[in-house]
Amino acid sequence: MKTIHKLLAIFLCLGLICSLPFAAYAQDTEGNPLQFHDGKFKILVLADLQDTDTPQKETTAIMTAALDQTDPDLVVLLGDNIAGYWKGVNKEATERAVDAVAAPINERGIPFALVFGNHDHEGLCSDEVGMTEEEAKEFLLTCFQKYPTCLAVAGEEMTGYCNYNLPILDSNGEKTVFNLWFMDSNPYATDEEGGGYGYVHADQTAWYQRTSDALKAANGGEIVPSLLFQHIIVPEVYDMLTETSRGTKGAKRGHGSFSEHYYVADNVYQGAMREAPCPPDVNAGQFQSWVQQGDIIGAFFGHDHVNDFAGVYEGIPLVATPACTFYSYGNHRGVRTITLDESDLTTFQSDLLLYDDLVGERVWNLYKDQHGYAEYRSNFLPAFFGALGGLVVLGCAAAAIVHTVKKRKGKAK
């Protein structure tokens, strides 16, 4: 009987643990201007966290491990920061999903910036909630901005939301020596435009050029070297790749307007192309504006969950960051760090850190072949084992009752 009681207590505890929601708590921190420290500045890039208000424990694990092990000066959330749509989503659930992402960063006193992806807003724009895209993004930004270390702003009136830049001061805190661009690549193109994924529109590019010129003028006529962050990669990524024939080892069939051709990433200097990049079909000249301005020394993208390549096209590195999510497809998970050296701001160092190394264990993503929200099953394993634990608890309880009844009957005899 004592054994049964012990088992009952153990399974009750397991059931309670499995049923606990992910909790996050924020503490007040003082925001300071971004600046180099002892000549260095490190950025941690987290792409496609893309989880719900009860995140997969693996998603939480890779995020917190990366925060603790990299000790960054800034965190960049590279879009699809939450899953967007899931069963039962509403404003309150969306806010909890944002809390799960923002609170661990804020707790550590780390400044963070963000861009939006094509999924962040979708739940809020559903028929159940009924927001417009702009209203949804405004609400999302407000949820992030309640944390003191959030540096993201709405930006000027233009296409998209959260188009802004963040200057970085020198180690003395006296002069802007570097700059970071954050662009909304927008979710999807309209049917009139031919459809496909979203793109940076002409008015956004015009703002970038004006602001770049202003930074240059304030810097005595010298360009301010910059990095750019947005969710969806530019179409020029296919110019960076090598077109080949079907069946070539490592070849991927292109996406969208590039789908009639096959490509290999034989000239990238880091990482690999594990899926065809998914840029927009519309090319509004964003990349060429970078070439014209001459200030961008590297551009970073998410969206394509299992890509982590870095290659150069027309002198500009195009860098893919793998996803952190375990609530969507893919089985290659990791983060990026970017290290800037104040003594040479014409270049940067970027390193990949994969889940296995960060968390110290291998894990298989059960959702790797599932595309489409209807097929996602958030917290499947916790729910499964929670239910299993519940059944075991009920079984143990029933066995205990039967044992007690039999014992009493025996005494009665």
- DSSP-assigned beta bridge partners for residue 246: none
Q: What pLDDT does residue 2 have?
A: 42
Which architecture does CATH list for 31-378? 4-Layer Sandwich (3.60)
User: Which pair of structure tokens corresponds to residue 372?
Assistant: 């489409």
d(CA 205, CA 290): 9
Q: What pLDDT does residue 369 have?
A: 45
Q: What pLDDT does residue 307 have?
A: 98
CB 185 within 8 A of CB 198: yes
Q: What pLDDT does residue 364 have?
A: 80
Q: What pLDDT does residue 92 have?
A: 97
CA angle 304, 305, 309 (to 5 degrees): 70
d(CA 163, CA 114): 10
Length of the chain: 413
CB 47 within 8 A of CB 323: yes
Q: How far apart are the first and last CA of the chain?
A: 20
Q: What pLDDT does residue 363 have?
A: 85
Name residues whose C-beta falls within 8 Å of residue 85's C-beta, 6 or more positions apart in sequence: 119, 122, 123, 126, 373
Q: What pLDDT does residue 36 have?
A: 98
Q: What pLDDT does residue 302 have?
A: 98
- Contacts from 153-161 at CB under 8 Å and sequence distance 24+? 155/207, 156/207, 158/201, 158/203, 158/204, 158/207, 159/184, 159/186, 159/201, 159/203, 159/204, 160/116, 160/184, 160/185, 160/186, 160/200, 160/201, 160/204, 161/116, 161/134, 161/137
- DSSP-assigned beta bridge partners for residue 317: 312
Residue ranges per structural domain of the chain: 31-378
Q: What pLDDT does residue 297 have?
A: 98
Series of mean pLDDT values for 10-residue runs along the chain (413 residues)? 44 38 31 88 98 94 98 98 94 98 98 98 95 97 98 97 98 97 97 96 98 98 98 98 97 97 97 98 98 98 98 98 94 96 98 96 69 36 45 59 53 42
pTM of this prediction? Answer: 0.82
User: Which pair of structure tokens corresponds to residue 359?
Assistant: 């968390």
d(CA 144, CA 112): 10
Q: Taking Cα atoms as reference points, which of 79, 68, 27, 37 lies closest to residue 303?
A: 79
d(CA 139, CA 307): 30
